[in-house]
Amino acid sequence: MQNYWGIQVKRIGILIIAIILIGGTLLSNAQSQQEVNVTIEGYKFQTSQMPLQLHADTIIRVKNLDNVRHDFGSQMFLNTLTHVESDGVVTYGKGVEGAYVNSGKEATFRLMLDQVGRFQFQCSIHPDMKGEILLLIVDAV
């Protein structure tokens, strides 16, 4: 009996910790993470983004729906610490030029933008493929 209650208490404890962790993650994501979604289809970039703020964690997700490999490259990564994940390979640092995005795969770039402007990106394999991300001044709520 004592053993039984011991296990129950342990389970409730773990449950409470899990709820706190999940709640904390949701809360911090809502507060500080902003996303840009880029879809590649038919040799074109399609960008959808919310208004971006300076100095906030920004995640750019690039999804390649074509059946050829593409590349997502931008000057915006050059002077900024950027965390890149593509096909299970992680790169982190300054001076990242971009990443290949294989057919049907997704690449993510995490960085913090500290300059307002238009950030152009392109595919180095197909030079006609270009797009841009806008960071205009938005009043903080």
In angstroms, give the least distance from the CB of 79 to Cu ion. 24
Pick the stretch among 10-18, 90-98, 114-122, 124-132 that binds Cu ion (CB under 5 A): 124-132
Residue 30: HSE in the Cβ half-sphere, 13 Å Cα cutoff: 6
Binding residue (CB under 5 A) for Cu ion from 38, 107, 123, 133: 123
The two three-digit tokens of residue 71, written as one number: 């590349």
| Strands 33-41 and 57-64, bridge-based pairing | parallel
Pick the stretch among 2-10, 15-23, 57-65, 121-129 that binds Cu ion (CB under 5 A): 121-129
| Residue 125 near Cu ion by CB under 5 A | yes
Residue type, 9: V
| Residue 65 near Cu ion by CB under 5 A | no
| Residue 38 near Cu ion by CB under 5 A | no
**Contacts with Cu ion: how many residues (CB under 5 A)?**
5
| Residue 70 near Cu ion by CB under 5 A | yes
| Residue 126 near Cu ion by CB under 5 A | yes
DSSP strands (E only) in the chain: 33-41, 44-49, 57-64, 70-74, 82-86, 89-93, 98-101, 106-112, 117-122, 130-135
| Residue 62 near Cu ion by CB under 5 A | no
| CA-based nearest residue to 43, from 17, 64, 15 | 64
Binding residues (CB under 5 A) for Cu ion: these are: 70, 123, 125-126, 129
